[in-house]
């Protein structure tokens, strides 16, 4: 069943609807955690979102990807000058709600249905609550909002195939980083070449990781042609060339394991524990051949293949902690 969400984005609604996404900082400007920003990582593909701006619900959206780290969109311009430069980007496919709905006009019916904590609007006035961004709502709230309006349910279900995806955005952002690397006058030509090769898990980075860890951390596969040199802290999010080339910032993984790790569906504890995202379906793990992951995650006794994983070396633990905190989908 989908979750239902309500987003207050008066300042950025036009940019986010046109761009088919939501974006938020990761924390408040003072560094404090925000439940509304943490909800960006709690949203899942297929969830439904109501867009509230200028005192009305004007769009209905469907989440198409899990949120991932991305810089503040350039199209925001001078909006949110106190926001951090890095935050969560959540791809959402939007369709118009016609006619739009003003919550204050139905607040007598709507107010009692709103959550007691972290409500997106005031249950009496219908005004947006300060600092509220993405907030969970119940299905009855959604039904009440849309009961007198219409939106294309077909478009909402089917649309978004050509909207932004993690691989597409990741490639665009990595292109920006690569351009910056090539123009960095503090790096010599050899280092620049090595850093660019490392973007795709090749060159010096692959050699260094393979020398340290010649088998897939997850499956134990040792055939080099079946292994990818994967960054623990993603290449585009590294702050220096040294981080991008550091063998301790790498794992050798089979392609399927690399995809699961890169998208945050699995991670590793320092003791070697394989962490599996609760948002991964058991049947998907089964179909990928990771029966033992499904067994561990869902309490199934059958584990037809041995699971091989090693403790993280001391020098790798800061990278792995970053992955668990910023990439792993909990």
Nearest-angstrom CA–CA distance, 89 and 72:
9
**Tokens, residue 223:** 């055939």
CA distances from 57 to 50, 53, 99, 258 (A): 6, 7, 9, 40
pTM of the model: 0.91
**Ramachandran angles phi, psi of 144, nearest 5°:** -65, -40
Identify the CA nearest to 6 among candidates 69, 59, 85, 78: 59
The radius of gyration of the chain from alpha carbons, rounded to an integer in Å, stands at: 22
Q: How many helices (H) and strands (E) does the chain have?
A: 13, 11
Checking DSSP bridges between strand 4-8 and strand 21-25, what pairing results, if any?
Answer: unpaired
Q: Which helix (H) or strand (E) holds 92?
A: strand 86-101
Please tell me the predicted confidence (pLDDT) of residue 318. Answer: 97
Checking DSSP bridges between strand 21-25 and strand 250-253, what pairing results, if any?
Answer: unpaired
Please tell me the predicted confidence (pLDDT) of residue 304. Answer: 43
**Residues 176, 330, 231, 25: is their CA dihedral positive or negative?**
positive
Identify the CA nearest to 200 among candidates 221, 229, 227, 177: 229
Please tell me the predicted confidence (pLDDT) of residue 252. Answer: 96
Q: Which helix (H) or strand (E) holds 229?
A: strand 228-231
What single-letter DSSP state applies at residue 311? P
Please tell me the predicted confidence (pLDDT) of residue 305. Answer: 44
Contact (CB, 8 A) for 213 and 263: no
Given a cut of 70, the residues of the chain with pLDDT beneath it are 161-163, 291-308
Helix residue spans in 127-254 (DSSP H): 139-146, 153-158, 166-182, 189-199, 203-212, 241-245
């Amino acid at each position: 069943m989908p979750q239902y969400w309500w987003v207050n984005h008066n300042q950025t609604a036009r940019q986010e609807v046109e761009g088919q996404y939501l974006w938020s900082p990761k924390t408040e400007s003072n560094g404090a955690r925000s439940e509304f920003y943490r909800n960006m990582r709690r949203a899942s593909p297929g969830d439904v979102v109501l867009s509230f701006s200028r005192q009305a619900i004007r769009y209905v959206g469907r989440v198409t990807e899990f949120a991932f780290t991305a810089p503040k969109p350039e199209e925001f311009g001078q909006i949110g000058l106190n926001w951090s430069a890095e935050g969560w980007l959540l791809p959402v496919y939007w369709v118009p709600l016609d006619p739009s709905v003003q919550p204050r006009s139905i607040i007598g019916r709507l107010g009692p249905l709103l959550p007691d904590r972290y409500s997106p609007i005031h249950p009496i006035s219908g005004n947006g609550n300060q600092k509220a961004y993405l907030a969970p709502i119940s299905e009855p709230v959604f039904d009440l909002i849309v009961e007198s309006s219409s939106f294309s349910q077909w478009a909402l279900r089917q649309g978004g195939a050509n909207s932004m995806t993690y691989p597409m955005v990741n490639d665009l952002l990595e292109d920006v980083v690569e351009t910056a690397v090539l123009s960095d006058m503090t790096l010599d030509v050899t280092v620049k070449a090595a850093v660019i090769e490392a973007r795709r898990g090749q060159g010096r980075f692959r050699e260094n990781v393979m020398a340290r860890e010649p088998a897939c951390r997850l499956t134990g596969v040792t055939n080099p042609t079946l292994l990818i040199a994967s960054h623990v802290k993603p290449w585009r999010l590294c702050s220096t060339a040294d981080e991008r080339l550091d063998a301790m910032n790498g794992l050798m993984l089979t392609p399927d394991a690399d995809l699961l790790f890169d998208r945050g569906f699995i991670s590793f504890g320092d003791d070697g524990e394989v962490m599996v995202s609760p948002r991964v379906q058991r049947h998907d793990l089964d179909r990928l051949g990771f029966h033992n992951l499904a067994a561990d995650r869902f309490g199934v006794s059958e584990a037809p293949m041995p699971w091989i994983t090693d403790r993280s070396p001391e020098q790798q633990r800061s990278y792995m902690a970053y992955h668990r905190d910023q990439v792993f989908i909990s």
